[in-house]
Structure 1
Amino acid sequence: MINYSDLIHGLADTPLAHWRLDLEHQLQARLENHNNGNLPKFLAALRALPSTTPAHRAIDQDVVMVGTDSDLSTSEHSALTTALAALMPWRKGPFNLFGHLIDTEWQCNMKWARIAPHLNPLHGRIVLDVGSGNGYYGWRMLGAGAARVIGIDPSWLSVTQHCAINHFLRDDRHHILPLTLEEMTPNIQGFDTAFSMGVLYHRRSPLDHLEELRNTLRPGGELVLETLVIDGKEGESLVPEGRYARMNNVWFLPSVPSLISWCRKMGFEDVRCVDITSTSTEEQRTTRWKPGQSLADYLDQENPKHTIEGHPAPLRATILAQRPFGGRLARYGL
């Protein structure tokens, strides 16, 4: 179910080989001392998944798809839907498993369509996905040619949702680790591309986050940074005193010029903004797979250009940047 032996073995002949021992010990400790009361329920759901070899798979399209309706018997369909329901809420997707559409809260295909055309080609790259959730974007990265994707997310629900999808895809090139970026071995410098999407505004120290991301990359590696921003000039940022869109863990929403300046300050080069998009209720909404409140409930009903707290409504920017080659970081005193 949750097994990282393929990953540890697979890193042997890669630029991440030096990480293997630390990672193996860290994952073993995390699995043995998870302290999560819901994990037994999640693992039971994984054990209940039907065992079958899908006739079809597609990871290079909007809906990550595994199998067809005819691959499963009636009882297997019932077991599948029960197991998937036990892993709710499903926030990132969409997925289609044997004809069952998991219509997730976030239509992540919309963000991927905005970002993918601007990326350096992922073919053959080793990719880090920080705050990966259940790994939807990782499948799209593999579909775009990545050699390996390692996602990190401390949520056991995200880890087990990924295990449920990979139970059928059976692809040892994609793993989700129950870790945060801060918990990773420092200064790995082995990833070709690092994604951080929807994470920076949750960090009390955004500059530390940028430094940690830079240190995961090889010289010349690419950062893909997507985060909440505000409309404003360089030097301007929103620091909500209370909640933002009902989230109490939002710290800094910079203007795009401020965000670019932060990236340059932390030693990145070729920093540019490739997309700015307002989050819509088409992209983020309540579904049967994620009941309860969603974006529409977080906005001012009379003026949806503002959150219910009176802040600017969610606006997301995507920044691309490069870790310098050689000793050029020295010019930044880093």
Structure 2
Amino acid sequence: METIFGLPLPTLWFLVVGGVFSGYAILDGFDLGAGALHLFFKKEESRRIALNAIGPVWDGNEVWLVIGGGALFAGFPVVYATVFSAFYELFMVFLVMLIFRAISIEFRSKEPMIWWRKMWDISYSVSSIIIALSLGLVLGNIIQGFAIDKNYVYQGTFLDFFNPYAILISVTTLALFMMHGAIYLVMKTENRLYAKLTILVKNTTIFFVMMFALTSVTTLLFVPHMVARYKEVPYMFGFPVLAILAVANITRQISKRKYRAAFFSSAMVTAILMVLVAVGLFPNIVLSTIDPDLHITVFNGASTDKSLKIMLTFAAIGVPLVGVYTSFVFWTFRGKVKLDETSY
């Protein structure tokens, strides 16, 4: 098996896929969180400001999801086929909600009628919440495994995905995104909306910290395979410690009203949580609850070394370019939101 930087190609590609999905969670996470909070804003101007805070970046942030799906398909086709077929109904809901979120943002301000704008406000908020919950539900089931047979065909039902642990991860994901989105919005607003958001930031942070603590305890008690890897490699415990410190720093920075630092800590928490999942699962990617011998791993689910090497070249060029573009957009639209005739 070929290696690069001392790592087998499948392992390296596993890191690439994980990195891209982490980028998506960080970037689209605050968009979804802002959408989930949208109905808390009662005034027309406040809702428009909140929409325009994410207006220049939300569609570009979704590019990371497309890259992640493509990277998964290229690097781990068996995983791609198994996961997308097993979660078919859930991904259809996810896709429909992505469509509704997009058209809600674009259509809302096309007409002046109050009922028209309220309808799209509700659509925008509800679709954002369902997207976040769907992502968490998929992640929760990936963590604990689901029923796949020797042909990697899912043997359960759609309702099996709505188990207590997956629902817990789902709500925790929503809580994380709401906190992340509230911190982003408070950086982009001023005056009365800023004052309202300072309260929302505190409330959503409390909500997330509670869910983070509950999820951590539940995982330690009821999902032992996620802890096994840390016992085998003790220095990996540094990641949970970093997660706790980053969460603590969010509350510290918020108390000082240093929201930019709080936002970076929130992004770090999102990335570290993804790392915790990756470390807990490795070398597995998809766990079979029918038979441990049927787990799809980094090695038996990967493409050939030649394919991985070629795709790694494309990733080494494409991902940094998207990163530069994303940074450029954020830099261009930095500062507080100002409404004008071109605003949503």
TM-score normalised by structure 2 residue count: 0.25
* Greater helix content: 2
- Structure with the largest fraction of strand: 1
